[in-house]
Chain A
Amino acid sequence: MDKLQQLSNIRADEVNISKITDFFETIKNVKNIDTDGAQDHIVQSDNLREDEVVHCNPEEKALIMENFPAKQGTYLVVPKVIQ
């Protein structure tokens, strides 16, 4: 199996990514990047909220349980891993 498919946890017959990898050459060829004056628009790390414990309400909990892919009675079935 293809290494990238393993990395992606995806089994697929054929996925053509050559059109996307063409972008790699474009980005490699970008020269003289002037970053002076750029502002970070993502998270401000000096403005974090306090941690707090929030209990899941029963309705929300029921919906989360309903979404579980495999159940036996009240048990949630997960794949077994023993090493």
Chain B
Amino acid sequence: MSESIIQDIHNQLNSKEISCVQLVQEKINALQESTKNANNAILEEQALKQAQIIDEKIASGHKLSGLEGIPFGVKDVYLLKGTISTASSNILKNYKSPYTATAIQKLIDSGAIPVCKENCDQFGHGSTNENSVFGVAKNAHNDEKVAGGSSGGSAVNVAEENTIFSIGGDTGGSIRQPAGYNKVYGLKPTYGRVSRYGLMAYTSSSDCVGPFAKTVKDIATTLNVMSGKDGKDQTTVASNKIDIESFSSEIKARTKVGIYKTFIEHPSLNSSIKAGFDALIEKLKAKGVEVKELDFFDGDTLTATYYIIALAETASNLSRIDGIAFGNRAMDKDNLASTYLDTRGEGFSEETKRRIIAGNQVLSVGYSDEIYKKALQVRKGIEAKFAKDFEEVDFVLSPTSPLLPPTIGESLKDPLTMYLSDMYTVGFSLGGLPTLSAPFVVENNVQITAAKGKDEEILRFAYAVEQSF
């Protein structure tokens, strides 16, 4: 495997082995012929125009760098000016983006070429990509299994190499879990490192923009382009550019890794995932890594805390989608209340309605103090525990998911199992921590997590492991 597919493509384009138009056309053909249902729209005309401009630059002697000429995918919850942005919903099935999300605009400004809008769970509500009006996205390695979610289509496109990288969104694991199910890298950066402006909000306090790719260096390259403060997102923070050229293939001496006993001893953990995780830990020990077992909150508490907060925020965020200024409106000219009720009743899926209704219950009198505010307090406790843990270790390692990818249709019968499948990812989201889902040894990937702002340290460690094994 190459260290950087982006660099390989630049070498091919700069040497005129292929043209950018050929490259983009090849990817578009592959996207159109794919049977995985990973895309809601393919942006053929715009992409080929941009590719033509790149070819003209090459012809004039320009040497490509950064992300110039690189085809990429965009989860269909990001606004991309002039394209339909549906969030995989009926209510926004005809919604045309009036502007472009900051993160996507930065990628375009660096020369990257968006080629598709990718299938996902509706408004990020799901872990299997089955909650989509476009139908389920199929796993890249097994047509009978789900792609994972909510950013399922993005993970599948990268796994199939139909995009060089894709941009997903991660609120409680929506990049890391599908990355695991499809065996590619997926990064949830530190909360605030990448602007959320132009991302349709699910849970604003933990929504993160992040990349999928097939190599650590390609993850780092895309992260460098997207990162930075944005006046349009008050939660963004400044960050240093990652020095990719100085990545070492040796694991840093005296690296300390923590593992959460409550995770690896949980009865739901699949035995083959556990065996792979144990094998990875032994390999790391053999490389001189110190491993320490740590106590942590149990999976049920983490899942409950996350969902209570997420439901409350999504009920609030999606209240703006009512068919008045945009979205498909179910008009009752004699009754405003009916217009709202029918527009949202017909426009949202069952799972999205479940989350909005439960979210409003969480926020209502009698539940707000006892449930919502208690969940916020537990979140503080989780953040405090992380602060202490990362004084003792450099990274926490854990499986990405306790379960193997479910068969298509299974999770629809039992949403609770789907919610509990997020137990290893949601805690790190509540803490706002950077976490990489990496295809090392463990089936469904391993998560590598560090303290806030330590995205670069994670990628350095992952690169060394990638090169070592």
Contact = CB atoms under 8 A, between A and B. Distances in A.
A, B from the same assembly? yes
Contacts of A49: 231, 234
Q: Which range holds the interface residue count of chain B? A: 35 or more
A79 interface: yes
A50 B433 CA distance: 29
Contact of A66 (B96, B353, B377): B96
Nearest to A78: B324
Chain A contact patch, size range: 35 or more
B387 interface: yes
A17 B245 CA distance: 50
B416 A24 contact: no
Contact of B371 (A9, A24, A63): A24
Interface in B377-405: 377-378, 380-381, 383-385, 387-388
B326 A10 contact: no
B384 A34 contact: yes
B305 to A, nearest CB: 6
A4 B378 CA distance: 25
Nearest to B305: A27
B227 interface: no
B452 interface: yes
Interface string A16-27: 110111111011
Contacts of A67: 94-96, 98, 325-327
B342 A17 contact: no
A42 interface: yes
Nearest to B321: A9
Which interface residue of A20, A28, A60, A81 has the most chain B CB atoms within 10 A? A20
21 contacts: A7-B364, A10-B341, A11-B345, A17-B354, A22-B416, A24-B308, A30-B378, A34-B381, A34-B384, A36-B384, A38-B380, A39-B383, A42-B205, A60-B99, A63-B98, A68-B325, A69-B328, A70-B329, A79-B331, A79-B339, A81-B336
Interface of A: 4-12, 15-17, 19-24, 26-28, 30, 33-39, 41-43, 47-49, 60, 63-64, 66-70, 78-81
